């Protein structure tokens, strides 16, 4: 607008479309651009500076992905974080389909699906990343078939990836590393207080990043000393509000959290105030690792660290599963591999050795 010498009243949907088109021609962050442009427009409209604008025209792939997200929520009943993950992986598949999209989908065959999965598996960061792509692609193909966009169901054409349950060790952090992370925040600032409260909750309660991001103000029972957690599979559970967690939360809510209409506990520090997302939680963890002088690790490592510490303190696996809120004992069984002291009592002498 500055380059075109436009006044605020001249901010029209056409101007927004032109700007986004220019962004698409110069970078690959068109989706990010739409999100923050939308935030600016909502803020300006809320202040009465500009009239409410029409939504930015989306491409065919974006409209199809939005339909896919609605189908996942309504027909599959997936949580918001699962919908986000499925949508991101499905976007990779649709980006690989040439234009015109409708004709290419109608002509889609098993060979094209298999070739896409093989290419993605070769470039994946881990087995679990490849598995996530496979799961999302199968869901997308079911959706496309239900919608009549592909003539036959192609889910059987999606190959599997070799990966065995319980094959890997849980990768926790040492107590010293966890303490270094929690001490890395500048608690004299609003951002530091928020990030510290968030990571204390992850480290001491074993919450997932998406669960912490979804926490609402009414979920914290200060008098009863409990927190309501909205976990996987739409499960609602209660966790004890430990003293350290309560102190960190109270400091953030009373001294740093902005006064706004948002009901989420953790919100952005700049207007327009929005709830933090699971992606934002991962970014906060990455920044904290950098301040602590550690290699970047995921927020889920704090959950693994809590389970490992409980086992080493003598807690049985059943109690660890309760703390982590596992639905299956198989999920907790993986942590038995890191309980070295107990495993030593089961080890048999090597044949022919002195022991």
Task: Return the active site residues.
Answer: 208, 232, 300, 303, 326, 335
Burial class of 3 by CB neighbour count within 10 A (0 to 12, 13 to 18, 19+): exposed
Nearest to 332 by CA among 340, 320, 323, 345: 320
Q: Is 314 helix (H, G, I), strand (E, B) or coil?
A: coil
DSSP per-residue letters across 76-134: I---HHHHHHHHHHHHHHHHHSPSSHHHHHHT--HHHHHHHHHHHHHH-SSHHHHHHHH
Q: CA-to-CA distance for 331 and 242, rounded, in angstroms?
A: 25
Q: CA-to-CA distance for 80 and 87, rounded, in angstroms?
A: 10
Q: Is 273 helix (H, G, I), strand (E, B) or coil?
A: coil
Give Cα 156 to chain centroid, integer Å.
28
Q: CA-to-CA distance for 292 and 302, rounded, in angstroms?
A: 15
């Amino acid at each position: 607008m500055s380059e075109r010498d436009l006044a605020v009243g001249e901010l029209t949907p056409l101007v927004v479309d032109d700007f986004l088109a220019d962004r698409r021609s110069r970078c690959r962050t068109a989706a990010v651009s739409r999100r923050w442009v939308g935030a600016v427009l909502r803020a300006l409209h809320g202040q009465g500076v500009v009239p409410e604008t029409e939504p930015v025209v989306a491409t065919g792939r974006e409209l199809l992905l939005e339909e896919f997200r609605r189908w996942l929520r309504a027909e599959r009943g997936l949580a918001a974080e699962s919908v986000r993950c499925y949508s991101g992986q499905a976007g990779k598949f649709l980006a690989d389909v040439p234009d015109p999209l409708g004709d290419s989908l109608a002509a889609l065959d098993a060979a094209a699906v298999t070739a896409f999965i093989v290419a993605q598996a070769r470039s994946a960061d881990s087995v679990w990343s490849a598995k996530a792509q496979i799961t999302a692609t199968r869901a997308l193909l079911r959706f496309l078939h239900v919608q009549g966009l592909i003539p036959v169901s192609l889910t059987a054409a999606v190959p599997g990836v070799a990966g065995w349950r319980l094959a890997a060790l849980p990768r926790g952090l040492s107590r010293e590393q966890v303490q270094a992370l929690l001490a890395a925040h500048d608690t004299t600032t609003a951002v530091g207080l928020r990030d510290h409260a968030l990571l204390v909750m992850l480290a001491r309660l074993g919450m997932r990043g998406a669960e912490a991001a979804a926490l609402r103000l009414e979920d914290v029972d200060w008098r009863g000393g409990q927190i309501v957690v909205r976990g996987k599979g739409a499960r609602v559970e209660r966790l004890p509000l430990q003293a350290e967690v309560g102190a960190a939360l109270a400091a953030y809510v009373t001294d740093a959290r902005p006064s706004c209409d948002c009901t989420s506990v953790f919100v952005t520090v700049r207007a327009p105030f929005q709830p933090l997302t699971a992606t934002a939680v991962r970014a906060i963890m990455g920044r904290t690792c950098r301040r602590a002088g550690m290699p970047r690790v995921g927020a889920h490592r704090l959950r693994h660290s809590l389970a490992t510490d409980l086992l080493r303190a003598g807690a049985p696996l059943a109690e660890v599963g309760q703390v982590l809120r596992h639905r299956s004992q198989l999920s907790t069984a993986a942590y038995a591999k890191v309980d070295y002291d107990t495993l030593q009592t089961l080890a048999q002498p090597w044949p022919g050795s002195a022991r």
